[in-house]
A and B are shown apart, each in its own frame.
Chain A
Amino acid sequence: MNEQFRIAQRIGLMFRYDQDLPQDMEAWVQSQLQAPSPALGIPHAYAKVAQWPDELQPNLAKRAYMWRRYRALKKQEREGKNGQDTEAARQANRRNHLMREKDEHKFVQRNVYGADQVKLRLTAFWANHFTIGNTFDTGNMIGHAIDKGILAKLNGSFAEMLYGITTHPGMLTYLDNVWSAGERSEHAKGCHRRPNCHAGLNDNLGRELLELHTVSPAAGYSEDDIRGAANVLAGWGVDFQEELPGMRKKIGGINHWNAYKKRWAEPGTKKVMGQLIHAGRGGLRQLTDFLASHDHTINYISTKLCQHFVSDNPSKDQIESVKSAWRQGDGDLPTIHTQVFKLAIAAPEAKFVWPMTWLFQVVRLSGATYFKGWEDIDNYNNQLMSSKKVLKELGQSFWSLRQPNGYSDDRVDWMSAEMFERRIRFADAIHKNGNIRRSASEIMHRIGAAKQTRNLVASVGNSPRDQFIALMCSPELMGLEYV
C-alpha cells in the first residue's frame, strides 16, 4: 500500500473513496489529533453527508428522563393499562425512549463518514479500555459515555479522562457503584436499624478501577487496597431511575455526571496503595489522580497502546518511549498518542485489523452506502440490516453485553474460522447491497495494493463480486501480513 493508506489503515479508518489524499503525512497526523469531531452521517440513502440532528443526541438529563418514562410505560404494559399492552405501543415506547440503537447507529455512521478518522480510532481504543457493557440499564448511557467521556476528552490529560469516565453514570451503573454505600455511612447505619433493609459496600468498580483501568495486577495491591478504593467510590452515582428533584435534594443540585450522595459515603480517611485519601467528594479525584500518574499505570497503558497500534509483542524500547512521552507530557494524551503513532508508522510488521475497524475501512474505501440513514432507522429494509445487527453478526460491538476487560488486541484471540467467514460474508453483502462506487481494481489502484494482493484478486477470476471479496479478505487489507 502507498504511504497514505498504509498509515490510514494503521491508525485511522482509510481515506474515503472520494477524499483528496494529503501529501505531508506527518502534518496530517498532527492535524487529525486536533480535528473537529461533528457526528457525521446521512439522513437517508443517497442524501448528502450532514451532522446528526441535536434531537437525536440528547443530554444525560434527557436520557435519564427517557429511561424512567420507558420503565413507567413498561409497567403500564405489564398491568394492561392505558393501551400500553399493544404491539404498536410497545414499539413506540422502545423507539421513543431507548437510545441504544440510535447511539450505535450514530457511532457506525460517524466511523463511515467522519473526517476525524484518527480520533475515531483513538475513541475505539479508549472506549474498549474503559469498557461499559450493555446490561440493559446502561443502554441509554453507553453512547453518551463514548461521545462525552472519551471522544471529547482525547485532547486533555489521562487523569481528566479517568476521572470523567469513572464518574460517568454508565460506568457507575455497569459496575454496580450506584448501589454501593460505605459501611459506616449514614445511609447504612440508618438502614441497619430497619428490617429487610440492605446497605453496604460493593467492591466491583473499586476492583476494576485498579485491575483494568489503571495499575493492573502487576502493581501487587491487596484486598485492603481494593476495599479502600471501593470506600472512596461509595456514594458516587445515582440510579437513573431516581426522579431528578429527589436526586437534587440528595446530592445537592448537581447533574447525573457528578452525582455524589454524601449520606452514602464512607466517612474518614482511606488508604489505597499507601496513599492517604481524604474524606468527602474530593477524595475520588485525589485517588484517580494518584492512580493516573502511578508508574504501574503508565507502564500498563503504554504497553496496551503499543499492543493496539504497533505490535502484538511490542519491544521494551517501544514501550519505554511511550512511557517517557507520558511522563514528559505529564499524562497529556495528544503527546502520548503522537509517540504511539510514530511507532505505529515505523512498525516493521503488520497489525491485525479488528472486525469493526475492518468493516468501516471496507465501506469507506468502496464508497458503499451499506448503512441506513438516521431517518430510516426504524424502517425495515430487506437489503440493509440495522447497525446493531451488523455489529452483532460481526462479533464486535461496544453495545454488547461483555466483560469489563473488553476486546483483545492480540490476533490469536481473533483466529477463528467462523469470524473469518463473517468477513467473507460481509464483503459479499456490501458488494451486493451497498451500492459500491469503486470496484476492486479501482481500489487496488488508489491504495497501491501490493503485488501479492493483486495476484490473489486475479486468481479468483473475472467476477467483480469475487474480486471484491478477495481484496477485502486479503492478508493486506485484514492486516495479517505486511506485503
Chain B
Amino acid sequence: MSKSTVGRRNLLKAGAASLFLAGVPIAGFTKDKPLGSISVIILEGGLDGLAAIPPIGDADLMRMRQSISPASYLPLNDFFGLHPSLQFYAQLMARGQASAVHATAFPYTKRSHFEGQNMIEGGGLSPFSEKTGWLGRALELAGVAGRSLSLDMPLILRGHRDNDNFYPASIRGSGRPPADLVEMIAMGHQMDAAQMFTKVARKSEERVQVPRDPASLAAYAGRVMAQTDGPVASVIRVGGFDTHANQVEEGDTDAGQLARQLSVVDDVIAGYRRGLGKAWDDAIILTLTEFGRTVAVNGTLGTDHGYGSVGLLAGGALPSSRVVTNWPGLSKKDQFERRDLLATIDYRSVCAACLEKALGLDHDLIASQIFHQPDLPRVFEHLFA
C-alpha cells in the first residue's frame, strides 16, 4: 500500500452513531421500576478484539500481529493489555467498575456483516429467524413499557409494542406538529402506522435540543435513565469497526481507524457515566459486535472478517474488574478454521447475565423465552458474584 493513502483514510469510515432508549414506563403504568439499567453499545463492522484487549502474554500475538498491535497498550494483568484509546475505561477498570469477556461471540461463524448483525440484535438461532430483538423481548418479559431514542427503531429493541423512540430534528421552517392534528392523522391510520402517529402525538410536547454526537447522546441517555420514571434500557450504535484497511496508521500502531473508533466508545462510556450520576451504581453497559477479525494481518494494514472477539462491560453494577476468558490460543492449530480467534464463551450468556442483573429476570426464562436456547450456559457468577 502506498504511503499517501494512509492519512487520507483517517477521516473515513468513522461511522455515525445513533442512540436508542427503551423502557420508560408510560404515564399511568404502575409497574415498579426494575433494579438496574442496561445499555448496549453496538459496534458495527466487527470489532478486532485482539487489538482492543491484546493478549500480550500470548507469544503468538507479536509473532503474527506486530504491525497492528498497539505499542503503548496499558497492562491489565500478566496476560492482557488494553488499547491506549480506552483511557476512561481503564480508569473504570482500576476502580473495579469495568470488565471484559474475551474470545467470545454469538454462535455465528459465516462472517457476513448483515447476517451477523441480525443474529446479535435479533438473538435468534439463525440469521433472519427473528422479527424482534432480544432486548425488546426482555423488556416485554419484564413488563416494562417504554420508548427508545433514535431516528429508526433498531431490531434489537423491537418486540415491545410500547417501545418508542426519540431523535432531535432540525428542519428549517417547521415547528413542533400540534398534537390534535397528529391525533386526527393517527385516527386515519391502522395498526402499526396508527401506533406510530399516536406516539408522535404523545411526545409532541417534549422536544429538547441534544447534540447528535455519540458522547452527548450517551450523556443524554444517562440523564433520562437516571430519572425516577426514566427508561431502563438504551442502545447506541457506533459504526466504523470494519477495519479492512488502515486499521492502524503506518508507523504508529496506537493511531488509525480502530484507535479513533475505540476513542468514540470510550467517550460514550464516559458520557453514560456523566449522565447517569447516582444511577451509575445500578447500571450495566455492554458492547455488542457481529464478529471478530482474522488473526493474521491482511495486505492493507487491516484485518478481514473473523469469529471470536471481545466484549467490554462497564457500570456500577459490576462487583469488581476482571477479564473473563477461556483462552483458546492464537497458534494456527488453535485458530477457528485456521484463521480466526476461536470463541470459547457464548456471548449470549453474557447478555443473559446482564439482563438477569439489570431486569431481575430468571436465567432459565431468559434462555428459553428470549434466546430460544434452554441450555444456554449461565455465566452470571463469573461477572457479578
Contact = CB atoms under 8 A, between A and B. Distances in A.
A241 B8 contact: yes
Q: Which 10 A-B pairs have the closest CB atoms?
A: A200-B299, A456-B188, A417-B199, A429-B174, A425-B174, A433-B173, A429-B173, A135-B12, A428-B174, A179-B300
Contacts, number: 200
Interface string B318-346: 00000000000000000001010000000
Nearest to B10: A136
A202 B200 contact: no
Interface in B155-177: 158, 164-167, 169-175, 177
A330 interface: no
Interface string B164-199: 111101111111010001101101111011001101
A238 to B, nearest CB: 10
Contacts of B67: 198
Interface of A: 71, 135-137, 176, 179-181, 183, 188, 196, 198-204, 207, 211-212, 217, 223, 239, 241-242, 382-385, 389, 393, 395, 400-401, 403-405, 412-422, 424-426, 428-429, 432-433, 452-453, 455-456, 459-460, 466, 469-470, 473-475, 478, 480-481
Given A198-B301, A200-B300, A395 B177 contact: no
A202 B296 CA distance: 12
Interface stretch (B106-114, B362-370, B373-381): B106-114
A71 B189 CA distance: 51
Given A405-B113, A425-B177, A470 B190 contact: no
B2 A415 contact: no
14 contacts: A135-B13, A181-B299, A183-B299, A200-B298, A204-B242, A241-B4, A385-B171, A417-B165, A418-B152, A425-B169, A432-B173, A455-B188, A456-B185, A456-B188
B151 interface: yes
A421 to B, nearest CB: 5
A424 B185 contact: yes
Interface string B1-43: 1101100110111011000000000000000000000000000
A176 B257 CA distance: 14
Interface in B194-242: 196-197, 199-200, 203-204, 239, 242
Contacts of B164: 417
Contact of A403 (B114, B170, B182, B204): B114
Contacts of A203: 244, 298, 304-305
Nearest to A385: B172
A433 B141 CA distance: 46
Interface residues of B, number: 70
B115 interface: yes
B177 A422 contact: no
Contact of B192 (A183, A217, A415, A455): A415
Given A135-B12, A456-B184, A204 B304 contact: yes
B131 interface: yes
A452 B301 CA distance: 59
B166 A418 contact: yes
A415 B153 contact: yes
B302 interface: yes
A431 B197 CA distance: 20
Contact of A422 (B8, B171, B300, B304): B171
Nearest to B250: A196
Nearest to B149: A418
A202 B302 contact: yes
Contacts of A422: 151, 169, 171
Contacts of B297: 198
A363 to B, nearest CB: 14
A176 B244 contact: yes
B185 to A, nearest CB: 5
Interface string B125-141: 00100010000000000
B236 to A, nearest CB: 15
Contacts of B11: 136-137
B283 interface: no
Contacts of A176: 244-245, 300, 302
